[in-house]
Chains A and B, each alone.
Chain A
Amino acid sequence: MDRTRRTDAEGLEAIDLLLEQGSADELHALRSAVARDPQRALELAETVAVVEQMRQLRTEASPAFAGRMQAVLLRSDRYQRAHYLPRTATWKRIATTAAAAAVTFFLLSWLDAGRWFCAPKRETAVFGGIDVTASAAPPAPAPPLVTPEEADWKQALLDIRARLELETSEELQAALAAGLDQHDDPLDRWVEPWNSMVLARLDHELRQHPEVRYRALRERGVMAAVDARVQGIADGIADELSARLAENPADVEVAELAFGMRALIGAGTTGRRADALRACGRELVRRLPDLHGALLVTALSGLLEEAAIAGDPLDAVAQHGARLLDEVFGLGQRTWQRGRPDLLGNRVAAATLGEAGRLLQRLPALGIDGRRCAVARQLLLGRLRERRQSGQDRPEVLAAMLYGYAERMPNDEADRIAFTLRRWKPARLAPDYRTVMQMAWGLGPGSVGFARMQRELRQLAIQPVPSGLVERAAFSLCLATNYAGFVGTLLPNARLARDS
C-alpha cells in the first residue's frame, strides 16, 4: 500500500490536516490517528516538508510593476468620479463659480486690496538738507534669471526623479544621482571627445596603408591574410550599397546604411568605397529628421564616424545629437511624466545601448552639453545594470556595458564583466557579430582578458561570411579589430605610413 495515499475513515489526508480543511471533529480524529500511528506521523512530516518547499516558489515584481499599479489606481479614481460620485449639474457649477467670482471681486475692490501689494512708502528723513534714508535700505537683490532651457532642464529632472521613485528603480535612481554628481572640468568634457575624434581621423589615414594594417595584425598574432578578407567584404558592401541606393534608396534600411558606413571606414575608404560612403551619408542625413530612439542612435553612430574622418556632416550630427539628448530627458515633451523614454524601455536592443554610450561619449566634441551627455550615459548604463539584475545577464548586455561605458564603471565592475564574458567564445556567438564586435572593441589593450580575447578572435578568420549586410559589416569590423577598434593605437606605426 502506498503510504502517500493512505486515507482515514472520513476521507481526510495529511494535507487536509496541514491546511486545516475539514470540521474540527474530523481534524481532531485525524490528529489522534497520527499521534497513534508512527507511519502516519512520518507521512505528515513528509507532506509538511513538501509544502514548505513548494511555498518557496515565488517571484519578485519588476521595477515597472509599481508604476503600472499606480496607473491602475489613477484610472480607478477617474472611474469612481465618473460612475459613483454624485455629479453636480453643469449649470449649477457655472452659477456657483460666477457667484464666487463676483463676491471676491466686490470684496477686493471694497478693501482696496491693490494697496497691499504696493511697496510700502519709506518715511523720508532729512538731515542737513540730505535725504539720509535714500541709502539706508539697499535694494533687494533681483532673483536670478532662469532661461527657458534651464527651467525645462530642472522640470525634466523633477519628472525623472518622480518617475524613478514611482517605479522604485534603484539602479536608475543611483545612476541619475551619480550622473548629476560628476564635477568634471568643463574643458575636459570637450577636450577628451575632441581628441578622440582627431585620433580617429589620424587612425583612418594611417590604416589606408596596407603595411600599417599588416603590422597591426602581426603584432597581435593575427594572420596578415585576414586583411584581404576585410578588404574584400568592404568592396562587396560598397558595391551593394551603391547599387541599391541608385536603384531605390528607400529599400535600404537605416541599420544597413550605418553599419555599412562603419565597415567601409574600418577597412579604409579608398577608391569606390569613398563614393559609397558619401552616398550612404547623404541618404542617412536625409532621413535623420524622421528617426527617433534606437534608429536615431544607429544612424548617428555611422554619421559620427564619417564626420570624424571627413569633417562632414558635423552640423547635422550635432543638431540631431542634441535632439537625441532631449529625447532621453524628455525635454519639451514631458515624456517622463507618462513613462520612460523609448531608449530606456524594454524594446531597445542592448547593443544599441552600447552604441548610444559611445555616441554620447563623443558628442560633446560637437558643442553639445557635456554634462548632460554624461548624465544620459549614466542613465543608459543604469538601464543595462537593471537588465543584468533582472536576470538578463546575457553576453550582449555585458558586451554593451564594456563597449559603451567601460570608463564610467568602477574598475572592479569592468573586470568582473570581462571575466564573466569569458564564458561566451566569439566563434560560438556567431552569427551575432554585433555582440562579438562590441566584446572585441570593448576590451582594449591593457584591459583584463585582452590577450585571451585576441586569441579567441583568431578563430573568426575561418568563419563563413554572413549573408545579411548588417551582419557582414559587423563581421568585417570584428576581423578589423586590431587596426580599427582601438583609437590611437596605430600612432607608433605613423613612420611606416610616412615612408611608404
Chain B
Amino acid sequence: MKNPHRKSAANQGEPDLLADYRNGDPTAFRRLVELYRDRMLQFFYRLCWDRDRAEDLTQELFIKLMLGSKRYRPEGRMTTFVYRVATNLWIDHYRQQRPRPRFYSLDQVVHPDEDRAPRQYANDDPSPQEQLTEGEERAQMRQALERLTEPHRLVFELAVYQERPYAEIAELLGIPVGTVKSRMHNAVAAVKCMLAPAEDAPVNKPAGGAS
C-alpha cells in the first residue's frame, strides 16, 4: 500500500540534488531525473490522460528545473520545489489548453456538464483495439477521475498518488490546509460514489453535498 518513495521523499535529510547541481556535481541532475522521471510522467498522465503530452510536460519540467536552479533556495525542501514547479506547469498548461471558460464553484466536485455527452478530443480517442482491451473497470476509474473538477483532481493526485502531506499541498497550491482537506474528502466521496454500483449510488449525485 505504501509508496516506497514516500519515506525518502518525506525525509528532511534527503539529498539536495538541485543545490548539488548548482555546486558543480556532474551527476546531480542525472540522479534528479532518475528519481522523479517516472513519478512526474504518471503525475502528468493522470492529469491529462495523454501519454505524449505527459512526456512533453515531463521534459519541460526538467528543463524548467534546470533553468530554475539559479533561483532555488537550498533552505527550502527540494521535493516541494519540484512539485511546485510541476503543479504550476500543469496549471499553466491547463489554462492554455482549456477549450472554453468553465465557471464552477471550488466546492463542486464533478464537472457541471456531466449530463451531456462526454467531451472528446481527436488525440484522446482510444483506438478500437484500446477500446476492446481496456478493461471496463479501468475505464470507469479513469472516467471517475476525469469527472472531478480540476482543483479536486490536483489535490487527489498529489495526496493519493504522490503521497504529499496536506500541509505541503496547501503550500504548493497556496490554499489553507482546511481547504485541501475538504477538497480531498469531497473528491474521495465523489470517486467512491461514481465507482459504486448503479443501484448503490446515483452517478449524477455524488455524496457529501458536492454539488
Binding site for B on A (CB under 8 A): 2, 4-5, 7, 11, 13, 15-16, 18-19, 21, 46-48, 50-59, 61-62, 64-65, 68-69, 72-73, 75-77, 79-80, 83-85, 391-394, 423
Other 11 A-B pairs with CB < 8 A, given A4-B208, A57-B46, A57-B141 = A5-B189, A21-B181, A52-B1, A54-B191, A58-B45, A59-B51, A62-B52, A72-B62, A73-B30, A80-B29, A391-B130
Query: What is the minimal beta-carbon distance from A47 to any residue of chain B, in angstroms?
Result: 7
Q: Does residue B145 face the partner (Cβ distance < 8 Å to A)?
A: yes
Of the candidates B42, B63, B181, B207, which one forms a contact with A2 in the assembled complex, judged by CB atoms under 8 Å apart? B207
- Mark B141-168 against chain A: 1 for CB-CB distance below 8 A, else 0: 1100100000000000001110101100
- With A2-B207, A73-B29, A391-B127 in contact, do A84 and B23 touch (Cβ < 8 Å)? yes
Q: Does residue B78 face the partner (Cβ distance < 8 Å to A)?
A: no
- With A72-B33, A75-B63, A80-B29 in contact, do A57 and B188 touch (Cβ < 8 Å)? no
Q: Which of B180-204 contact A (CB under 8 A)?
A: 181, 184-185, 188-189, 191-193, 195
Q: Are A13 and B188 in contact (CB under 8 A)?
A: yes
Q: Does residue B24 face the partner (Cβ distance < 8 Å to A)?
A: yes
Q: Does residue B99 face the partner (Cβ distance < 8 Å to A)?
A: no
Q: Does residue B16 face the partner (Cβ distance < 8 Å to A)?
A: no
Give the contact-size bracket for chain B.
35 or more
Q: Which residues of A contact B38 (CB under 8 A)?
A: 61
Main SS class of interface, A: helix
Q: Which residues of B contact A19 (CB under 8 A)?
A: 159-160, 163
Of the candidates B42, B46, B188, which one forms a contact with A47 in the assembled complex, judged by CB atoms under 8 Å apart? B188
The answer for the CA separation of A51 and B52 in the assembled complex, in Å, is 26
Q: Which residues of A contact B208 (CB under 8 A)?
A: 2, 4-5
Q: Does residue B11 face the partner (Cβ distance < 8 Å to A)?
A: no
Of the candidates A53, A61, A84, A392, which one forms a contact with B21 in the assembled complex, judged by CB atoms under 8 Å apart? A84
The answer for the CA separation of A50 and B1 in the assembled complex, in Å, is 12
The answer for the CA separation of A77 and B25 in the assembled complex, in Å, is 10
20 pairs from A and B in contact (CB 8 Å cutoff): A2-B207, A4-B192, A4-B207, A13-B188, A15-B185, A15-B188, A46-B192, A50-B191, A54-B161, A54-B191, A57-B142, A61-B51, A61-B55, A69-B33, A72-B66, A77-B29, A79-B66, A79-B67, A394-B127, A394-B128
Q: Which residues of B contact A56 (CB under 8 A)?
A: 138, 141
- With A50-B188, A50-B191, A73-B29 in contact, do A80 and B24 touch (Cβ < 8 Å)? yes
The answer for the CA separation of A15 and B183 in the assembled complex, in Å, is 12
- Mark B106-143 against chain A: 1 for CB-CB distance below 8 A, else 0: 00000000000000000000011110000001100110
Q: Which 3 A-B pairs have the closest CB atoms?
A: A393-B129, A76-B29, A59-B45
- With A57-B142, A68-B55, A391-B129 in contact, do A76 and B137 touch (Cβ < 8 Å)? no
Q: Are A51 and B160 in contact (CB under 8 A)?
A: yes
Q: Are A59 and B21 in contact (CB under 8 A)?
A: no
Q: Are A84 and B193 in contact (CB under 8 A)?
A: no
Q: Does residue B172 face the partner (Cβ distance < 8 Å to A)?
A: no
Q: Are A11 and B181 in contact (CB under 8 A)?
A: yes
Query: What is the minimal beta-carbon distance from A83 to any residue of chain B, in angstroms?
Result: 7
Query: What is the minimal beta-carbon distance from A210 to any residue of chain B, in angstroms?
Result: 40
Query: What is the minimal beta-carbon distance from A462 to any residue of chain B, in angstroms?
Result: 25
Query: What is the minimal beta-carbon distance from A346 to any residue of chain B, in angstroms?
Result: 9
Q: Which of B41-71 contact A (CB under 8 A)?
A: 41-42, 45-46, 51-52, 54-55, 58-59, 62-63, 66-67, 70
The answer for the CA separation of A5 and B193 in the assembled complex, in Å, is 11
- With A4-B207, A53-B137, A68-B55 in contact, do A84 and B195 touch (Cβ < 8 Å)? no
Q: Are B141 and A84 in contact (CB under 8 A)?
A: no
Q: Are B26 and A4 in contact (CB under 8 A)?
A: no
- With A65-B41, A76-B66 in contact, do A85 and B160 touch (Cβ < 8 Å)? no
